[in-house]
Structure 1
Amino acid sequence: MEKEKGSENDSSTGSQIGTEIFEGSVDRTEDADMKSPQVTATPLAEPKTSDVPDGGLVAWLQVLGAFVIMLASWGLINSFGVYQTYYETDLLRSSTSSDISWIGSLQGALLNMGGLVSGPLFDAGHFRALTISGSALVVLGLFMTSLCETYWQVLLAQGVAVGVGCGLLFLPSAAILSQYFARRRALALGLQSSGSPVGGIVFSILFSRLQPRIGFGWATRVLAFILLGLLVVPLVCMRPRVAPPRHKRAFFDRDAIRDVPFMSFAISALPSFMGMYVPFFYLQLFALRRGTASADLAAYLVTLLNAGSVFGRILPNFVADYLGSMNMLAAMTLGAGILAFSWLGVHDLGGTITFAVLFGFFNGGVASLPPSAIVTLTPDLGRLGTRMGMLFAFIGIAVLVGTPIAGAILKDVDDDGAWKGLIVYCATTVFIGGLGFVGTQVLHLRRVRNTKV
């Protein structure tokens, strides 16, 4: 009789993920030839890893749809640097740097915290409803932003409406790929995640080029019309492969609180993401105020950050399928922290461009690896959406307060000491988060060894 395989090593790291999950009972009987067991379970069972397609037209169409969602969600947030500069120098020049950064940070926080709702709803089988409602809010929020004239209007339209819409879209698009990919999961998530910097590049360039010619309102409306057309793609291409469970999933997984590696992972994400987006919000303003780049060149620094992030979201994820997602996440976060300290030594255009490309690369790895890393810490993939939601709630808190704290440190944009304080804050938080991810991997491997014993 052949031995049935119930779990499989993830990403060749020796970390085992339980992928055969049944909502009902499992009965094994032998067939007439006594050659192989027959497995009977409820039709809502999570498929075995060996049954996951790991490729094919339908599977890669999910990656395409998820790529578009990342472009429309994180892509907008990664392009906020050009809005930050425009608001500070024109529309909202009476507001402080910290006040304006709350708009972008609120947008990013709601995107992540939205997982607390969208994760369990995805597990419950409401993927299409989440995609439709999220797309509508993102497009509506941008159209409303184009009409804004005051701070509170921009905060509600661009910060709240777009942020909530992105929150409904983001997590389900990442979770659905785990139903189609196992051995290539990290690569698929990396390709999906590359939509974020691509969106940041395209939207940054479009806004920077269009705003001086057609004004803030129409430049923003052009972005909204583009997204209106693009968001049709996930509605047509994407569909869940696994049926939802018969019983309702809780919006909060209490077992996760007692899961030490998971909690270590979530707590480590807090400092990591507090500093991770500071350059995206402030590098362009840094170049302008310190005179390292002209106004025309400074407008492309956010583009360069995102260009580096494209490669950072694909190459490390490809390697992660062999070395392990947690290992790569820890390495990329520590690298980003070390590189952020080098920002202190940037005094000319060449240094600014080099820093933008390299930091964008490491940022891409840190931003794209958590969805595949969390799979290794989730024995029951039926709760993957819920646990992802809990993790991204921690990340949402970090994104919410991270850049406003940096803005509060930067009280005077012409003060050299204030800029040094902002840079040290960015580098220290990211590096501490990287050390936390190292500790998480140690805890996880220790648990794996104890389980085998």
Structure 2
Amino acid sequence: MPIEQQSWQYSIPAIYPANITSGPVPPTSWSIRGNLRRRTRCSLQHPVNSCCHWKFLSDSIVPCLSQLARGIDWAASVLNLRSDFFRIWIPAANVAVKETHGIHEIFDMADPDGKAIGNGHERASSPTLAEKEPVSSRDDTGSDAVGTDIEEGGAPQPPPPAKETTKSEFTPAAILNLIGSMCILFCSVGFSVAYGTFQEYYSQTLLSHKSPSQIAWIGSFALFIQFSFSLPVGYLNDLLGPTILVRIGSVIILFALFMTSLCKEYYQFFLAQGFVLGLGVAFVFLPPFAILPRYFIRSRGVALGLTTTGASIGGVIWPIALRNLFSHLSFGWSVRVCAFMMLPLLLIASFTIQPPKPPPGAIKPPKQKPDLSVAKKPMLLVLGAALFMNYLGLFTPNFYVTSYTISLALDPSMAFYMLAIMNGSSLFGRVIPGILADKYGAFNVMILSAGTSGVVCMCWTKAQSIASIGVWAAVYGFTSGAIIGVQGSCAAALLKPEQYGLGVGVLMGIWSIAALIGEPISGALLDKYHYLGLSLFAGLALIMGMVILIIARFNMNSKLIAKV
């Protein structure tokens, strides 16, 4: 039988509170049933009495919610679907029981008085359940789930088939947030991954008396500050909202660039470009990854992939711009021009990054403190360990591909374009895998990306001409870009919407240590083992990250072929 025609049914013993004294004779069980043609909806049928007053129905069904949860788990296991795909519909009452993150998280148990006790995010009780839920509801695919009105003495009718059309998530507000997020990543991550241009320029001019490892500390320390400060920034994001953080971070970034333009000594570069710039990027980098999953559910991978293309575009433009600016202007004015280029983009982001507005007439819930328990989620920590290994080697080619090309006595003018090629191909590596992640699962795509990136990285030194280095840079840019593009979807799969800010901050805090030590280690290996040791170190780190991701993926779903 085709899977779209499969139907199912599950009976639940009826348990009633002792204070029910009126109404029709209670049934001995409830029956949940459904059909995969209506993907996210199942019906809860009253098997005996079709004429149920709501007072009786509410008193009788709420205590059964814990049994209902087990029924949903059973149906999910039979159909190989997640339990949070189901919306529970009670046709006899013409009302939908709340759905979002799964029945267990909303109705964990029932007390003898007939009140459903949730986990703190949603609470329902018999007097208020009917008041809070609308007569018609929408499932998570955007289609209407409408119950049948019950006349006195009539029989409940099955709900009509769900509409095939779905409402687009790309609303004007969502698109504005998407544009603002792209501007942020263009100015923050896009500029950070262009540090390879600064690395080569410093080694030949302003900091020629310093070793490659010492110069790499400036860029790696900026990455460390960017990621490590994301933990407190994530807390502030959940507490204050993303808009104020973007505005504060924008001011800090511009201030850091103007200070960098005045630097002469190593410690000055370290403070301005390493610490202050990294701090500004930390304030603006996290809000897009915390706000966009609240606008996009079905298209989350695509949205986050499109957002990270801002970093890819920046990674193409900034190296070329810096190369030409350094050739025609002084170092100070070159950096100041970059600041003026960022100014309008950061202004756009400051006014477009806004949290979703509540529906008209909705009661605004009281602001709660961020849930710090998210930092103890085992699967989130495992994902953090995998990303730690990935980030240990991820940016090594970005830092050293220019100097590698020059070391082969190839055309220096073309060497600066290798980084632009790498970052340009990562644009496609962030969008296409994001689309695949929505279809096949974020963890599956992430595993493939980390593994292929590791293999490609270990082949680095086999490219010894301008053409071959360009091809290698394009391939590595595509495979490594997927890691950055899909990591947000992996995190969102483990978190509730109100936990996104702090959860992503926890992950960034973990991999910030890798960003701090990865490039200086690479610089030390370069001095002793040359570029072969560099490529093997970065490649093996990515492979180790892939292994940890495989462990996490099969811990979530042990089936070989499954969307995870």
1:421 corresponds to which letter in structure 2? G
Alignment correspondent of 1:343:
460
Partner of 1:432: 544
CA distance in 2, matches of 1:330, 1:14: 22
Aligned match of 1:278? 396
Work out the percentage of aligned pairs sharing the same amino acid. 27
- Of 262, 266, 278, which aligns to 2:380? 262
Equivalent in the alignment of 2:283: 168
The worse-fitting range, judged by mean Cα deviation, of 380-389 and 98-107 is: 380-389
* Residue number in structure 2 paired with 1:399: 515
Tell me which residue corresponds to 1:294. Answer: 411
Superposed displacement of residue 284, structure 1? 0.4
| Residue type at the aligned position of 1:66 | S
Query: Is residue 246 from structure 1 mapped to residue 363 from structure 2 by the alignment?
Result: no
- 1:347 to partner: Cα distance: 1.8
Higher relative CO (Cα under 8 Å, sequence separation at least 6) belongs to: 1
Q: Helix, strand or coil for the counterpart of 1:410?
A: helix
SS at match of 2:240: coil
Matched with 1:451 is none
Distance 1:123 1:319 in 2: 29
Matched residue, 2:303: 188
* 2:251 paired with 1:136: yes
| Partner Cα separation in structure 1 for residue 83 and residue 420 of structure 2 | 39
Residue 39 of structure 1 deviates from its aligned partner by 3.2
- Bigger shift: 265-274 or 53-62? 53-62
Deviations 1:291-337 (CA, angstroms, capped at 9, x unpaired):
2x311000111101101111101010011110011110111010100
Q: Spell out, residue by residue over 1:231-281, the C-alpha distance to the aligned partner (whole angstroms, 9 max, x if none).
A: 01112212101678522115xx34543x33222211111111100000000
- Give 4+ residue runs of structure 1 displaced > 6 Å after superposition: 4-7
Residue equivalent to 1:26: 124
> 1:344, CA displacement in angstroms?
2.9
The 2-side partners of 1:247 and 1:156 are apart by 36
SS at match of 1:300: helix
443 and 245 in structure 1: CA distance in 2 versus 1, 3 angstrom threshold: farther
Structure 1 or 2: more helix by fraction = 1
Superposition pairs for residues 71-82 of structure 1, below 5 Å? 71-82=186-197
- Corresponding position of 1:311: 428
Q: 1:422 aligned to 534, 546, 550, which one?
A: 534
Q: In the alignment, is the contact (CA less than 8 A) between 2:433 and 2:485 conserved in 1?
A: no
Counterpart check, 1:159 vs 2:274: yes
Counterpart amino acid of residue 440 in structure 1: A
Q: Distance in 2 between matches of 1:228 and 1:319?
A: 34
**Contact kept in structure 1, 2:374 and 2:503, CA below 8 Å:** no
Deviations 1:151-201 (A, max 9, x none): 111111111111001101111111100110000001000000111111111
d(CA) in 1 for partners of 2:486, 2:250: 24
SS in 2 for 1:92: coil
Report what 2:336 is aligned to.
221
Match of 2:229 among 107, 114, 119: 114
SS of corresponding position for 1:194: helix
Matched, 1:235 2:235: no
C-alpha RMSD over aligned residues: 2.7
Pairwise CA distance, 1:341: 1.2
CA distance in 1, matches of 2:406, 2:481: 25
CA contact (8 A) 2:459 2:535 kept: no
In structure 1, which of residues 45, 54, 57 is the aligned counterpart of residue 172 of structure 2?
A: 57
**In 2, Cα distance between the equivalents of 1:354 and 1:38?**
62
Whole-Å Cα distance in 2 between the matches of residues 14 and 40 of structure 1? Answer: 25
Q: d(CA) in 1 for partners of 2:417 and 2:214?
A: 23
Deviation at 1:143, TM superposition (A): 0.8
Would the aligned equivalents of 1:23 and 1:245 in 2 still touch at CA under 8 Å?
no
Q: Distance in 2 between matches of 1:233 and 1:399?
A: 29
The answer as to whether partners of 1:123 and 1:244 remain within 8 angstroms in 2 is no
| CA distance in structure 2 between the aligned counterparts of 1:262 and 1:273, rounded to whole angstroms | 16
Structure 2 partner of 1:408: 524
Q: 1:28 to 1:100 in 2, by over 3 A?
A: farther
CA change 1:61–1:342 in 2 (3 A) is same
Partner Cα separation in structure 2 for residue 371 and residue 165 of structure 1:
20
The answer to whether the 8 A contact 1:19-1:381 is kept is no
**Residues 179 and 255 from structure 1, CA distance in 2 versus in 1: closer, same or farther, beyond 3 angstroms?**
closer
Q: How does 1:351-362 map to 2 (within 5 A)?
A: 351-362=468-479
CA contact 1:123–1:245 (8 Å) conserved in 2: no
* CA distance in structure 1 between the partners assigned to 2:365 and 2:208 by the alignment: 49
Q: State TM-score, norm by structure 2.
A: 0.71
Deviation, structure 1 residue 345: 1.3
Letter in 2 for 1:396: S
Question: Is the Cα–Cα contact under 8 Å of residues 430 and 485 in structure 2 kept in the other structure?
Answer: yes
Matched residue type, 1:160: F
Q: Which amino acid counterpart does residue 282 of structure 2 have in structure 1?
A: G
In structure 2, the partner of 1:96 is: 211
Q: For 1:377, what is the secondary structure of its paired residue?
A: coil
**Structure 1 residue 404 displacement after superposition:** 0.7
1:16: Cα distance to partner?
6.3
Match of 1:212 among 327, 335, 341: 327
Q: 1:125 is matched by which residue type in structure 2?
A: L
Distance 1:170 1:95 in 2: 30
Name the SS for the 1:91 alignment partner: coil
The one-letter code sitting in structure 1 at the alignment partner of 2:339 is A
Q: 1:383 to 1:353 in 2, by over 3 A?
A: same
**Closer/same/farther in 2, CA of residues 241 and 19 from structure 1, 3 Å limit:** farther
Instruction: Please tell me the residue identity of whatever aligns with 1:343.
Output: W
Which residue pairs with 1:197 in the alignment?
A: 312
Provide closer, same or farther for how the CA distance between residues 382 and 256 of structure 1 changes in structure 2, counting only shifts above 3 A: same
The whole-number CA distance in structure 1 between the counterparts of 2:83 and 2:479 is 27
2:132 equivalent to 1:39: yes
Q: Which has the larger radius of gyration?
A: 2
What amino acid sits opposite 1:207 in the alignment?
Answer: L
- Give the match for residue 390 of structure 1: 506
Counterpart selection for 1:442 from 509, 529, 554: 554
Q: TM-score, normalised by structure 1?
A: 0.88
Measured in 2, the distance between the counterparts of 1:226 and 1:362 equals 29
Amino acid paired to 2:132 = V
